[in-house]
Structure 1
Amino acid sequence: MNYATQHHIGSYQHTRTETATAVAPTVGRVRQLATKTKGRKPSAKGQTEIRTDSNVTNGILKCTFLPKLKTAQSVQACKGTAKTERDFYKSLSKLAEHYGIEPMQTKDFGFPYNIALGMWDMEAKVNRTNINWDSFKLVQDSKKTFLVSEERYNTGTTLYYIPIVPLFRMLHDKGRKHNAHLLLSVCSYLYHIADIPYYRQQDSYLYWLYETHKDWVEQDEETEETECYRNEIKRAEWIGDNIEQKLFNRINLTLFEQRLSQFKSRDTFDRECWQVACNAYALYTEYPNATIFRNAPMPEQDPYNDDYDNEAITMEKYISFIADTKGWLYESLKDSINNEFNEYGILEEPTICKSFDGSEITQGNLDFENRLFALLDDLCTLLYDYKTTGK
């Protein structure tokens, strides 16, 4: 787990099962627990101690064990016909060619084990070569049988919230103005091109949360604490509007390359800012029209789930600009987010589905997402760590 995740990028617990689990603390990522398996107790009768010869101790490591047949529902549903097998191997061949994999020869095995074995082999091989590989399934409609693969960017149940209060402070820090202008170009790219939601936009998820907390504070009894809370909310609103005006100005994109070329690094913080800006500019030039939602899954991708809209944590809920990731207001927002997300059963992440049914295969990949989420991580770390006195 990296430093950025520990401190500024909140983490919420979530599983892809229908039943939600308890909320994890903000610090840290979710770790799956190992499942206990029930073993059979050995019988004391008729057992004789046997010791292998020392020269064959490692022989078992050279063996390859085929999987035990646990027929998946998709395989069970297939009718055991010659056409089903022909369709499967045609589809498997196209999938193997697409991912550059040499499939295992399984045609000599009986049905349906040959299909299950072919899928097991392909799953293991593609998983080793494609960092975004998630799963694939066997589909059978009224006409044919074919494979559908799914590539997914794993967000790690992370809240990608970019704090803008540190950027505001940086703009008023004489020693860091050149850093601030460079990061303004980065954030303008994220605002205009990558389409990251901004918390002062009324249609954004965080705008609604800020308004909710504002109403709660207004309804509280007058105390010194509520006055501090009101001031923090007003500050978040005022700074948010001020910085959004600057981000909205596309001059930051026009001057992006010039600011990069003229930037002079004096210390570690400068070099980190420059590297983040370089990565952002590379994405800007290589993917000039790509948004972070370009591969967001659509509800129709799961036609069997009528409750998708009500159950899904959509991407705009955990990716956004935010006022700050420190202080009472953020902690309160974070608690509300964790409580809400714990009620959902589906996490929406960038996903590409590819059907190997004889039609043209989707050629897209998640390279943009891999690089953009890494950029968000680095940028959030930079802004969280910033102090007016520098690093």
Structure 2
Amino acid sequence: MENTSANRPIRPRLRQAARCAGSKTEQPALGTAGISTDGFLRQCFTPMYETGAEMPKRSETEGDFFKSLSILKKHYSLDMIAYRKLPYPFNILMAGQELNAKLKDEYRFRELFIVKENEKTTITVKESLRREFSLYYIPVLPVYKMWQIPEQQSCAELLTAVFAYLYIEAGLSYYRDEDTYMFYNYEILADWVEDDKDSADEEDYQNQKKAVDTANLVGDFVQQKMMAEGFRHSLDTLIDNFRAVTDFETLSLAIAKNTWRIWQTYPDATLYSHASNPCNLDDEDADDFYYADNNYVGMNEHIGFVASETDVLSDSLFRMVNDDFNERPSFQEPEITTRFGEKLPQYADQLACEDQLLELITDLCSLFYTQP
């Protein structure tokens, strides 16, 4: 699989067909029917077109295209009409049109490109998740509060183990780590609170200052729990020993079981295993969120842990984040680009782990939103 840039699509320019002239012969006399012409209605005629100024040469394109198409059809197990014998480039256009329709999927968005590289023409398919851009922020304050109540500590331990998997194994960013986007934003909020100390109402200042201190406190507390040696590896034992009583605990147990299933199914995968590179940055720059900040919204910026979604800082935090993201031209997402130049194995959903992780994060956020 290779990341490649697509050539300009091959599209003929249609021209108006000549109008048929009316018949000048006399109407024939009625009689027995001659040879039937019903078959005319069953024939397929190619439309008229003009060759574009940058039309690729047939000798350099046609053979490579249909060889690549053959590899693609086997990869996706597709049955298609044979277009090879149609006039060029109409045969490629018709094949591309049907291929676009056949590649449509309810859960995946696929883009089709014709790419020419090193004098060879191949078909390339870019596949991503059918998900709208969203902020996937998991609040840790609810779990911190549960740790302070003896009757809820077993549930708190279970959910913290889920957090530990997402943080350490799946690679989600944590707002108390200094090299993260959210650490930077919380620092800005803390500076704003102190800068407005003299002009703000004393009660407002104290509430905001307390929220900043609480965000730091709960973040450090939960992080210390997550990082305890061997803690995340006890998730299966915690699941076996947990006895759900309330609806909240039942949902928590279901989330923990799903987490364990994902971990066992994809033991080496992270959320960023197939992260796209929207601006084609070098690897070094793509890993630097300060650089990416000026180009696209990184997955490590809109997915991760925050202190709370309901405290007095939340409105300012999310308004600041949204204003920042609205200035970015694109965003990073799980993405697979497959170039069909050589024989490939049967299609397998390589984005399944990322899709399930995002669904897991959504379930966690919904759990805390409905928490009594």
Q: TM-score range by the shorter chain?
A: 0.7 to 0.9
Whole-Å Cα distance in 2 between the matches of residues 135 and 225 of structure 1?
51
- 1:145-164 matched pairs, under 5 angstroms: 145-164=121-140
- Which residue number in structure 2 is paired with residue 209 of structure 1? 185
Tell me if 1:323 matches 2:302.
no
SS in 2 for 1:332: helix
Alignment coverage as a number of residue pairs: 318
Single out whichever of 131-140 and 333-342 deviates more from structure 2. 131-140
Residue 293 (str. 1) matches residue 269 (str. 2): no
Cα distance between partner residues in 1 of 2:229 and 2:67: 50
- Counterpart in 2 of 1:227? 206
Tell me if 1:116 matches 2:93: yes
Cα deviation per residue 1:61-110 (whole Å; 9 max; x = unaligned)?
A: xx9x9999999xxx985513134111101111111111121122222332
Partners of 2:278 and 2:331 within 8 A in 1: no
Under a length normalisation based on structure 1, what TM-score does the superposition of the two structures give?
0.75
Instruction: Map 1:1-391 to 2 at 5 A.
Output: 77-128=54-105, 131-220=107-196, 221-223=199-201, 224-298=203-277, 301=280, 309=292, 310-358=294-342, 365-387=350-372
Contact persistence 1:184–1:252 (CA under 8 A) = no
Q: Match for 2:171: what amino acid? A: D
User: 1:253 offset after TM fit, Å?
Assistant: 1.9
Residue 181 to residue 68, structure 1, CA distance change in 2 (3 Å): farther
**Aligned-pair distance for 1:327?**
2.7
Aligned partners of 1:96, 1:86: CA distance in 2, in Å?
16
1:143–1:132 Cα change, 3 Å: same
Contact 2:83 2:94 in 1 (8 A): yes
Deviation at 1:173, TM superposition (A): 2.6
Q: Give the secondary structure class of the aligned counterpart of 2:304.
A: strand
Distance in 2 (alpha carbons) for counterparts of 1:340 and 1:97: 44
Partner of 1:56: none
SS state at 1:280 partner:
helix
**Please, which runs of 5 or more residues in structure 1 have no aligned partner?**
1-62
Q: Distance in 1 between the 2:59 and 2:171 partners?
A: 49
Q: Which amino acid aligns with 1:338?
A: N
Percent identity (aligned): 28
Which blocks of at least 5 consecutive residues in structure 2 are unaligned?
A: 1-41
Shift in alpha-carbon separation, 1:108–1:360, aligned structure 2, 3 A: closer
State the superposition RMSD in angstroms. 2.9
Give the 3 Å change call, closer, same or farther, for CA 250–153 of structure 1 in structure 2: farther
Structure 1 pair 230–69 and aligned structure 2 pair: CA distance change class (3 A): farther
Deviation of 1:360 after TM superposition, in Å, equals 5.2
Offset at residue 265 of structure 1 (A) = 2.2
Q: How big is the shift at 1:234?
A: 0.8
Say if 1:69 and 1:370 are closer, same or farther in 2 by CA, change over 3 A. Answer: farther
Q: In structure 1, what is the Cα distance between the partners aligned to 2:319 and 2:49? A: 41
Contact 2:71 2:343 (C-alpha < 8 Å) held by counterparts: no
Name the larger-Rg structure.
Answer: 2
**Contact 1:92/1:147, CA 8 A, preserved across alignment:** yes
